[in-house]
Amino acid sequence: MTTHLLYLHGFRSSPESAKAKQMAAWMKLHAPRVTWWCPQLPPSPAEALALLDQGVAGWPRHNMAVVGSSLGGFYATVLGERLGCPAVLLNPAVDPARDLARHIGETTQWHSDAPFFFRPEFVDELRDMTPGELARPSRYFAVIATGDEVLDWHEMSQRYRGAHLRIVEGSDHGLTDFEQHLPHVLHFLDLAPLP
């Protein structure tokens, strides 16, 4: 059973994302004893990972899990491979070093319009931390939308071959229908039975 849960938002996103807020609300109402952490991630992937490593250092490996959306799904995979914990991936970025290279420069956060700078060396940081083949695909549950307008669902499905996959017909990159998939996420995390 999951006693510690980490939620990782995507590129330009924040703990204010719809999915993060839905999960936080469910946890507060139904699983208040579970340690819940959804940090604002810095733009630097190396700094983000250092923050996460430090934040979960005292967590029990056998009772922790991580959920990540888009770039957060990539980070969740990095942590899943490093720590051996279960991970839920929501339209996960497969090759963010390639995909985010075109976003170098100043950009803004979705939920606040706060500016931040995505530096060229961040692409190298992503490349350096990219995991190889998954050690145990069964530790992963990926929700992948065929209607994702940002990432290729075929590439995501291939990357997580052998994992528990929920292929969603249609939808979009943000999984605006997330409430339909939340019960499956919670079931995988052993937090709630399927209705």
pLDDT at residue number 106: 87
The pLDDT confidence band at residue 57, using thresholds 50, 70 and 90, is very high
Q: What is the pLDDT of residues 142-193, one digit of tens each?
A: 999 999 999 999 999 999 999 999 999 999 999 999 999 999 999 999 999 9
Query: What residue ranges define each of the domains in the chain, with the CATH number in brackets?
Result: 4-188 (3.40.50.1820)
pLDDT at residue number 170: 97
Question: What is the rounded average pLDDT of the residues 40-67?
Answer: 97
**With 80 as the cut, is the pLDDT of residue 39 above it?**
yes
Q: ∠ at Cα 38 (60, 79), nearest 5°?
A: 50
**With 80 as the cut, is the pLDDT of residue 112 above it?**
no
36: alpha, beta or left? (left if phi > 0; alpha if psi -120 to 50): beta
Q: Which helix (H) or strand (E) holds 82?
A: helix 71-83
One-letter identity of residue 166: R
CA neighbor of 179 nearest in space, from 76, 26, 75:
26
Q: What is the pLDDT of residues 131-155, one digit of tens each?
A: 999 999 999 999 999 999 999 999 9
pLDDT at residue number 110: 73
Q: What is the pLDDT of residues 119-130, one digit of tens each?
A: 999 999 999 999
How far apart are the C-alpha atoms of 31 and 3, rounded to whole Å? 9
> Rg of the chain over CA atoms, in angstroms?
15
DSSP string, 4-56: EEEEE--TT--TTSHHHHHHHHHHHHH-TTSEEE-PPPPSSHHHHHHHHHHHT
Contact yes or no for 189/65 (Cβ under 8 A): yes
